[in-house]
Structure 1
Protein backbone atom coordinates (compact mmCIF):
# COMPACT_ATOMS: atom_id res chain seq x y z
CA UNK A 1 0.00 0.00 0.00
CA UNK A 2 1.23 3.46 -0.68
CA UNK A 3 1.94 5.77 2.27
CA UNK A 4 -0.91 8.09 1.34
CA UNK A 5 -3.63 5.47 1.68
CA UNK A 6 -2.27 4.44 5.07
CA UNK A 7 -2.37 8.05 6.25
CA UNK A 8 -5.95 8.45 5.04
CA UNK A 9 -7.09 5.31 6.83
CA UNK A 10 -5.44 6.29 10.12
CA UNK A 11 -7.49 7.68 13.02
CA UNK A 12 -7.08 11.38 13.81
CA UNK A 13 -5.08 10.88 16.99
CA UNK A 14 -2.58 8.71 15.12
CA UNK A 15 -2.14 11.35 12.41
CA UNK A 16 -1.20 13.93 15.02
CA UNK A 17 1.45 11.65 16.51
CA UNK A 18 2.82 10.47 13.18
CA UNK A 19 5.79 12.83 13.08
CA UNK A 20 9.24 11.62 12.30
CA UNK A 21 11.66 10.83 15.06
CA UNK A 22 14.29 13.52 15.52
CA UNK A 23 17.53 13.70 17.44
CA UNK A 24 17.91 15.52 20.73
CA UNK A 25 20.01 18.16 19.00
CA UNK A 26 17.27 18.86 16.46
CA UNK A 27 14.71 19.03 19.25
CA UNK A 28 16.90 21.50 21.14
CA UNK A 29 17.39 23.66 18.03
CA UNK A 30 13.63 23.66 17.38
CA UNK A 31 12.95 24.56 21.05
CA UNK A 32 15.55 27.36 20.93
CA UNK A 33 14.08 28.77 17.72
CA UNK A 34 10.63 28.75 19.32
CA UNK A 35 11.92 30.62 22.40
CA UNK A 36 13.72 33.15 20.19
CA UNK A 37 10.52 33.69 18.21
CA UNK A 38 8.48 34.12 21.41
CA UNK A 39 11.06 36.61 22.75
CA UNK A 40 10.99 38.69 19.57
CA UNK A 41 7.20 38.70 19.40
CA UNK A 42 6.77 39.51 23.10
CA UNK A 43 9.07 42.54 22.98
CA UNK A 44 8.18 43.50 19.37
CA UNK A 45 11.78 43.09 18.26
CA UNK A 46 10.76 41.63 14.90
CA UNK A 47 9.96 45.11 13.59
CA UNK A 48 13.28 46.71 14.64
CA UNK A 49 16.42 46.94 12.58
CA UNK A 50 19.38 44.81 13.53
CA UNK A 51 21.14 47.81 15.14
CA UNK A 52 18.09 48.64 17.24
CA UNK A 53 17.82 44.98 18.28
CA UNK A 54 21.48 45.02 19.30
CA UNK A 55 21.04 48.15 21.40
CA UNK A 56 17.89 46.81 23.05
CA UNK A 57 19.47 43.44 23.81
CA UNK A 58 22.62 45.11 25.13
CA UNK A 59 20.67 47.34 27.52
CA UNK A 60 18.56 44.38 28.65
CA UNK A 61 21.69 42.26 29.19
CA UNK A 62 23.37 45.01 31.24
CA UNK A 63 20.29 45.50 33.43
CA UNK A 64 19.90 41.77 34.05
CA UNK A 65 23.64 41.46 34.78
CA UNK A 66 23.44 44.26 37.33
CA UNK A 67 20.39 42.66 38.93
CA UNK A 68 22.06 39.24 39.19
CA UNK A 69 25.29 40.76 40.53
CA UNK A 70 23.41 42.74 43.17
CA UNK A 71 21.44 39.67 44.21
CA UNK A 72 24.62 37.57 44.34
CA UNK A 73 26.57 40.10 46.42
CA UNK A 74 24.00 41.70 48.68
CA UNK A 75 21.13 39.23 49.06
CA UNK A 76 22.90 36.81 51.46
CA UNK A 77 23.85 39.67 53.80
CA UNK A 78 20.34 41.10 53.59
CA UNK A 79 18.81 37.72 54.41
CA UNK A 80 21.08 37.36 57.46
CA UNK A 81 20.07 40.83 58.67
CA UNK A 82 16.39 39.95 58.29
CA UNK A 83 16.99 36.64 60.08
CA UNK A 84 18.70 38.44 62.97
CA UNK A 85 15.84 40.92 63.26
CA UNK A 86 13.24 38.15 63.28
CA UNK A 87 15.29 36.29 65.91
CA UNK A 88 15.45 39.45 68.04
CA UNK A 89 11.71 40.07 67.72
CA UNK A 90 10.90 36.48 68.69
CA UNK A 91 13.50 35.89 71.44
CA UNK A 92 14.42 39.35 72.69
CA UNK A 93 18.16 38.82 72.20
CA UNK A 94 20.53 39.09 69.29
CA UNK A 95 21.29 35.98 67.28
CA UNK A 96 24.89 36.92 66.52
CA UNK A 97 27.80 37.03 68.92
CA UNK A 98 29.05 40.56 68.20
CA UNK A 99 26.12 41.96 70.15
CA UNK A 100 27.63 40.60 73.36
CA UNK A 101 30.01 43.58 73.59
CA UNK A 102 27.28 45.66 75.21
CA UNK A 103 25.92 42.87 77.42
CA UNK A 104 26.17 42.84 81.22
CA UNK A 105 28.18 39.61 81.29
CA UNK A 106 31.16 41.18 79.53
CA UNK A 107 34.27 41.28 81.68
CA UNK A 108 37.09 43.82 81.58
CA UNK A 109 39.49 41.50 79.72
CA UNK A 110 37.27 41.67 76.64
CA UNK A 111 37.31 45.46 76.73
CA UNK A 112 41.09 45.51 77.18
CA UNK A 113 41.62 43.19 74.19
CA UNK A 114 39.28 45.34 72.10
CA UNK A 115 41.19 48.48 73.07
CA UNK A 116 44.51 46.78 72.24
CA UNK A 117 43.19 45.75 68.83
CA UNK A 118 42.04 49.32 68.15
CA UNK A 119 45.46 50.69 69.14
CA UNK A 120 47.19 48.21 66.79
CA UNK A 121 44.88 49.15 63.93
CA UNK A 122 45.45 52.87 64.44
CA UNK A 123 49.22 52.36 64.65
CA UNK A 124 49.21 50.34 61.42
CA UNK A 125 47.08 52.79 59.43
CA UNK A 126 48.46 56.08 60.78
CA UNK A 127 51.41 56.35 58.32
CA UNK A 128 49.14 55.63 55.36
CA UNK A 129 46.58 58.20 56.53
CA UNK A 130 49.30 60.81 57.09
CA UNK A 131 50.78 60.15 53.64
CA UNK A 132 47.36 60.40 51.97
CA UNK A 133 46.58 63.65 53.80
CA UNK A 134 49.96 65.13 52.79
CA UNK A 135 49.44 64.16 49.15
CA UNK A 136 45.96 65.66 49.15
CA UNK A 137 47.19 68.94 50.69
CA UNK A 138 50.02 69.21 48.14
CA UNK A 139 47.58 68.72 45.27
CA UNK A 140 45.34 71.47 46.57
Structure 2
Protein backbone atom coordinates (compact mmCIF):
# COMPACT_ATOMS: atom_id res chain seq x y z
CA UNK A 1 0.00 0.00 0.00
CA UNK A 2 2.85 2.37 0.83
CA UNK A 3 4.47 1.78 -2.56
CA UNK A 4 1.20 2.59 -4.29
CA UNK A 5 0.94 5.88 -2.42
CA UNK A 6 4.53 6.81 -3.16
CA UNK A 7 4.03 6.02 -6.85
CA UNK A 8 0.82 8.04 -6.88
CA UNK A 9 2.57 10.96 -5.18
CA UNK A 10 5.47 10.69 -7.64
CA UNK A 11 3.04 10.71 -10.56
CA UNK A 12 1.20 13.74 -9.14
CA UNK A 13 4.50 15.58 -8.75
CA UNK A 14 5.47 14.78 -12.35
CA UNK A 15 2.11 16.06 -13.61
CA UNK A 16 2.50 19.20 -11.50
CA UNK A 17 6.04 19.71 -12.85
CA UNK A 18 4.76 19.23 -16.42
CA UNK A 19 1.97 21.76 -15.90
CA UNK A 20 4.37 24.28 -14.35
CA UNK A 21 6.92 23.86 -17.15
CA UNK A 22 4.40 24.50 -19.92
CA UNK A 23 2.24 26.97 -17.96
CA UNK A 24 -0.81 24.73 -18.35
CA UNK A 25 -1.79 25.35 -14.72
CA UNK A 26 -2.81 28.95 -15.61
CA UNK A 27 -5.27 27.88 -18.32
CA UNK A 28 -9.01 27.60 -17.94
CA UNK A 29 -10.51 24.09 -18.11
CA UNK A 30 -11.55 24.62 -21.73
CA UNK A 31 -8.08 25.74 -22.72
CA UNK A 32 -6.56 22.78 -20.86
CA UNK A 33 -8.90 20.43 -22.74
CA UNK A 34 -7.89 21.94 -26.09
CA UNK A 35 -4.18 21.83 -25.17
CA UNK A 36 -4.27 18.21 -24.00
CA UNK A 37 -6.39 17.20 -27.02
CA UNK A 38 -3.85 18.65 -29.43
CA UNK A 39 -0.99 17.09 -27.44
CA UNK A 40 -2.72 13.69 -27.48
CA UNK A 41 -3.39 13.98 -31.22
CA UNK A 42 0.24 14.83 -32.00
CA UNK A 43 1.59 12.04 -29.77
CA UNK A 44 -0.87 9.55 -31.24
CA UNK A 45 0.01 10.46 -34.81
CA UNK A 46 3.71 10.22 -33.98
CA UNK A 47 3.25 6.74 -32.53
CA UNK A 48 1.23 5.61 -35.55
CA UNK A 49 3.89 6.96 -37.91
CA UNK A 50 6.61 5.15 -35.96
CA UNK A 51 4.73 1.85 -36.15
CA UNK A 52 4.03 2.23 -39.87
CA UNK A 53 7.26 3.70 -41.22
CA UNK A 54 10.07 2.91 -38.76
CA UNK A 55 10.48 -0.79 -39.70
CA UNK A 56 10.90 0.08 -43.38
CA UNK A 57 13.31 2.88 -42.54
CA UNK A 58 15.40 0.61 -40.30
CA UNK A 59 15.57 -2.09 -43.00
CA UNK A 60 16.64 0.57 -45.50
CA UNK A 61 19.39 1.77 -43.14
CA UNK A 62 20.56 -1.80 -42.51
CA UNK A 63 20.67 -2.38 -46.27
CA UNK A 64 22.74 0.77 -46.75
CA UNK A 65 25.12 -0.22 -43.95
CA UNK A 66 25.47 -3.71 -45.47
CA UNK A 67 26.27 -2.13 -48.84
CA UNK A 68 28.90 0.18 -47.35
CA UNK A 69 30.54 -2.65 -45.40
CA UNK A 70 30.35 -5.51 -47.93
CA UNK A 71 29.85 -3.74 -51.25
CA UNK A 72 26.80 -5.72 -52.32
CA UNK A 73 23.09 -5.03 -52.17
CA UNK A 74 20.93 -6.99 -49.76
CA UNK A 75 17.19 -7.00 -49.27
CA UNK A 76 16.82 -7.29 -45.52
CA UNK A 77 13.14 -8.22 -45.75
CA UNK A 78 13.82 -11.15 -48.08
CA UNK A 79 16.68 -12.42 -45.92
CA UNK A 80 14.59 -12.30 -42.76
CA UNK A 81 11.64 -13.88 -44.56
CA UNK A 82 13.83 -16.71 -45.88
CA UNK A 83 15.37 -17.41 -42.47
CA UNK A 84 11.98 -17.25 -40.79
CA UNK A 85 10.53 -19.69 -43.31
CA UNK A 86 13.34 -22.18 -42.72
CA UNK A 87 12.96 -21.93 -38.93
CA UNK A 88 9.20 -22.40 -39.19
CA UNK A 89 9.68 -25.40 -41.50
CA UNK A 90 12.10 -27.04 -39.05
CA UNK A 91 9.75 -26.37 -36.14
CA UNK A 92 6.74 -27.73 -38.01
CA UNK A 93 8.70 -30.87 -38.95
CA UNK A 94 9.76 -31.42 -35.34
CA UNK A 95 6.21 -30.93 -34.06
CA UNK A 96 4.80 -33.27 -36.72
CA UNK A 97 7.31 -35.97 -35.77
CA UNK A 98 6.48 -35.58 -32.07
CA UNK A 99 2.75 -35.81 -32.76
CA UNK A 100 3.15 -38.91 -34.93
CA UNK A 101 5.30 -40.59 -32.24
CA UNK A 102 2.70 -39.75 -29.59
CA UNK A 103 -0.10 -41.06 -31.83
CA UNK A 104 1.78 -44.34 -32.41
CA UNK A 105 2.28 -44.75 -28.68
CA UNK A 106 -1.42 -44.17 -27.98
CA UNK A 107 -2.43 -46.63 -30.72
CA UNK A 108 -0.03 -49.30 -29.38
CA UNK A 109 -1.43 -48.86 -25.86
CA UNK A 110 -4.99 -49.24 -27.05
Q: Could you say which residue in structure 1 is the equivalent of 2:9?
A: 30
Residue segments in structure 2 that go unaligned for 5+ positions in a row: 78-110
Question: More helix by proportion, 1 or 2?
Answer: 2
Q: Could you say which residue in structure 2 is the equivalent of 1:89?
A: 68
- Alpha carbons 2:66, 2:72 under 8 Å: kept: yes
Q: TM-score, normalised by structure 1?
A: 0.51
The structure whose Rg is larger is 1
Residue segments in structure 1 that go unaligned for 5+ positions in a row: 1-21, 99-140
Deviation per CA, 1:36-56: give whole Å up to 9, x if none.
100110110111000000100
- Equivalent runs, 1:1-140 vs 2, <5 Å: 23-96=2-75
CA deviation after TM superposition for structure 1 residue 97, in Å? 8.0
Cα distance in 2, alignment partners of residues 32 and 97 from structure 1 = 42
Q: TM-score, normalised by structure 2?
A: 0.64
Give me the CA root mean square deviation: 1.8
**Higher RCO by CA contacts (8 Å cutoff, separation 6 or greater):** 2
SS class of match (1:74): helix
Pair 1:97–1:60, CA change in 2 (3 A)? closer
Deviation per CA, 1:75-134: give whole Å up to 9, x if none.
111010111112112222112289xxxxxxxxxxxxxxxxxxxxxxxxxxxxxxxxxxxx
CA deviation after TM superposition for structure 1 residue 67, in Å? 0.7
